[in-house]
Amino acid sequence: MIRTVRHYFLALATFAAASVLPACAVEFIDEIIDERGVTYCSETTQVLDTSTGSTGSSETGSTTLVDTTLLGSSTAGETSTGTDESTGTSSSEGTSSSTDPGPFCGDGVVEGDETCDDMNDVPDDGCNACARDSIVFITSQVYQGNINGLAGADQRCRMLAAIAGLPRFETYRAWLSSSTKSAAQRLLHSRGRYVLVNGLVVAQDWDALVSGNLEHSLDVDENSQTQDYRVWTSTLASGDAAPGANFCEDWTGIGADGGTGLSGMTDATWSFFENAPCDAEAHLYCIEQ
């Protein structure tokens, strides 16, 4: 689109006509244009920088330099570019020049799906890849199959964690399935590592925990003592309820049997080995959430 100087002066005349210019102002402007002639400029002609007086390069031919501040606003769609001194990156006014990078690991702020951010790459300080380690232990106590359901099992884990002085003791839950809910449905699928109270790594994350092979057997209790014994689970290593396993009347009775695992093993039998009578005694696995 081509603009003329006449359009510019008409805009000024219209703006000021009510209080400054007489009714013949438009005719007077036409006389000036007839006498002086008209010079055209295209929209690609650069706008005069009033702070420096410099215009840079322009199209070949006669041009008219217009200070857009006289018009009261800039042309829609026109932008000015520059460099952010703090970052050295180019920015553009009037358009979105940058996007929010969002949470990122290493900035020291816990955001998004991060559960920690300690700004370092040390894996053994409780925070690895911006995910907290989760403590796991086998209970120092043994129980018969009647443990007041899943809630009763969770409460036993929390009580032992509190007595041992473990942090966040109120979050612990038992690795235990019932006839209506599996361990995988009950427990947090953490991106962080699963570690024993003595710091040994059992699994790098949830996927590794349920892979069927552990890095270390889950045989250390809340007091860092070894417990190589049977554990009530009725749960496959995948976290699913074991097919054909009973649940000691959903862990409220001793008249049936329940699935058990072996705490000294690192293969799939750590979680499920065989059924045992519910009046027998076995441990529980407890996992921080």
Three-state SS across 189-200? CCCCCEECCCCC
Three-class secondary structure of residue 268 per DSSP: helix
Residues 49 and 170 in one domain: no
Tell me how far apart the alpha carbons of residues 118 and 131 are, in angstroms, rounded to a whole number: 10
Radius of gyration of the chain (CA): 37
User: Please, what is the end-to-end C-alpha distance for the chain in angstroms?
Assistant: 65
Are residues 143 and 233 located together in one domain of the fold?
yes
Domain span holding position 50: 2-67
Clarify whether residues 167 and 242 are in a common domain: yes
Same domain (yes/no): 147, 194: yes
Domain count, the chain: 3
Looking at the structure, do residues 117 and 260 belong to the same domain, yes or no?
A: no
pLDDT at 127: 76
Distance CA 102, CA 120 (A): 19
What pTM value is reported for the model? 0.62
Give residues with Cβ within 8 angstroms of 196, minimum separation 6: 135, 136, 137, 202, 216, 218, 220, 224
The predicted structure's pLDDT at residue 270:
98
Strands laid side by side in the 274-277 sheet:
230-232, 257-262, 274-277
More confident: 209 or 43: 209
- Check residue 97 and give left, alpha or beta (phi > 0: left; psi -120 to 50: alpha): alpha
Per-residue confidence band for 32, with pLDDT thresholds at 50, 70 and 90: low
Q: Is 222 helix (H, G, I), strand (E, B) or coil?
A: coil
